[in-house]
Chain A
């Protein structure tokens, strides 16, 4: 049973389109995240939700909108896709509380914008 699962794993789309990536965790964690890994492998946090409440919102364009229908799910919707959005997007989760340490990552969703 996959702990943090993301769909789709690969996404190829044209500039200007809108796309969504879904994430689910079955670890019972309260906190979920979206990270972006660019072509140079640099990992940067985008958003974090704690029990459905947005707690971290880094400097991310408004075209990116996270949604957490419940604490086990965190989806990412991207409007008006641009070439620079091409990256691998990782969902992650962690146990409740401040700075408890470990992040559990999904396998990533590779987005290619043509």
Chain B
């Protein structure tokens, strides 16, 4: 049973456009929601993260929107660039030694 559901599976965006990836979770005990970025042949790397006491967090072109009542969170990439082309994973954890539950990943392709 997948604890975190992610969509879409793949996404094609034109350069300069907005990329939006969505995740949903069921377990209300989750209290940390990171997004990871993975390039081919590399391990995932933390991009941005949020805790449920805030509804939005922005770092440069990357923004997490968090809706606690709907148990959903999303990643917005503004002014998407070809260098953003990668696989993005949302994740959630609930306080027990960073045991992360990952979404199934979204492969983003930003076309020049």
Q: Which residues of A contact B (CB under 8 A)?
A: 4, 31, 33, 40-45, 48, 50, 55-56, 90, 92, 94, 98-103, 105-108
Contacts and interface: CB of A to CB of B under 8 A. Distances in A.
A63 to B, nearest CB: 22
Given A43-B44, A105-B44, A94 B87 contact: no
B102 A103 contact: no
A107 B96 contact: no
Contacts, number: 69
B77 interface: no
A50 B105 CA distance: 27
Contact of B96 (A92, A94, A99): A99
B32 interface: yes
Contact of B95 (A41, A99, A102, A106): A99
Given A31-B97, A42-B105, A101 B41 contact: no
Given A99-B94, A99-B98, A105 B43 contact: yes
A40 B98 contact: no
Contact of A108 (B36, B43, B89): B43
A102 B45 CA distance: 9
A4 B46 CA distance: 14
B61 interface: no
Given A33-B98, A41-B87, 12 more contacts: A4-B43, A40-B104, A42-B105, A43-B44, A56-B99, A94-B98, A98-B96, A98-B97, A99-B96, A102-B46, A107-B41, A107-B43
A101 B104 contact: no
Given A41-B105, A43-B102, A102-B34, A48 B87 contact: no
Contact of A31 (B31, B34, B98, B105): B98
A26 B89 CA distance: 25
B100 interface: yes
A100 B43 CA distance: 19
